[in-house]
């Protein structure tokens, strides 16, 4: 999406959005997230990497056992293609954000890449080890998404595919947002990554929303939804 007030010949910062799920999809309906970002002057990019729905069962299940592998490559390939097609995107001012699985992908990518100037990881899965058995989605979610193994059968797999494992590699300024009543990705998922990055003396901010759950961005209290947008836009304005 072009930013509001787009002018030919100018270059604009870009926000790359990653959807949750992972078995979901972006489409064409109105989404307030993108309208707010574009309205604030950002180019907005959103893609459906492998794992997304809408392209057949094989594509949807391609991410199983491979979180952070081909899906992360697809997300960045989409960005590369957008940069190739549109010279009005400033390649030096790139931001990354996402929630839930999109939060996982954000935390994961900044632990494996330095191409983004700032990022926002929201209601994320940051440790498959601690999410196992503590989420209202059920313990079989992590088992299934990691290829059918329980943690006591292959703890290495759980650690290998957890962004927290790569915290020492994160140098991108990171905004972490989490709701205190989130039962899908319990708030400890955000707390652990925040504490790791603070201990490592990285540039990180942790925002906790009281009386909100996993649906803050979609069904939270209006004042909290407005505050969330303000916090996110202020964060990216600082760096982009």
Catalytic residues: 100, 214
Look at strands 43-46 and 12-18 and give their pairing: parallel
| HSE-up (13 A, CA, CB side) for residue 213 | 6
CA distance linking residue 190 with residue 56, whole number of Å: 32
Strand order in the sheet with 89-99: 43-46, 12-18, 89-99, 118-122, 174-179, 204-209
Query: Which of 79, 16, 77, 81 has its CA nearest to residue 42?
Result: 16
Contact 43, 14 (CB under 8 A): yes
CA distance linking residue 233 with residue 226, whole number of Å: 11
CA distance linking residue 99 with residue 106, whole number of Å: 8
């Amino acid at each position: 999406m072009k930013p509001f007030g787009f002018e030919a010949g100018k270059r604009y910062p870009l926000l790359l959005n990653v959807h949750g799920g992972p078995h979901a999809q972006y489409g064409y309906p109105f989404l307030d997230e993108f309208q707010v970002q574009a309205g604030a002057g950002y180019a907005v990019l959103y893609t459906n990497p492998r794992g997304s729905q809408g392209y057949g069962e094989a594509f949807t299940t391609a991410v199983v056992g491979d979180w952070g592998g081909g899906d992360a490559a697809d997300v960045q390939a989409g960005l590369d293609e957008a940069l190739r097609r549109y010279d009005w995107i400033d390649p030096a001012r790139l931001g990354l954000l996402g929630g839930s699985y999109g939060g996982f992908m954000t935390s994961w990518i900044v632990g494996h890449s330095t191409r983004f100037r700032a990022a926002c990881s929201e209601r994320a899965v940051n440790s498959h080890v601690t999410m196992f058995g503590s989420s209202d989605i059920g313990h079989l979610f992590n088992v299934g998404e990691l290829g059918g193994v329980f943690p006591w059968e292959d703890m290495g797999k759980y650690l290998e595919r957890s962004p927290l494992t790569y915290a020492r590699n994160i140098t991108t300024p990171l905004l972490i947002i989490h709701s205190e009543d989130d039962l899908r990705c319990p708030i400890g998922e955000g707390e652990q990554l925040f504490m790791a990055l603070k201990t490592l003396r990285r540039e990180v901010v942790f925002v906790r929303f009281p009386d909100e759950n996993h649906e803050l961005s979609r069904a939270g209290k209006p004042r909290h939804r407005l505050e969330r947008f303000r916090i996110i836009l202020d964060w990216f304005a600082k760096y982009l």
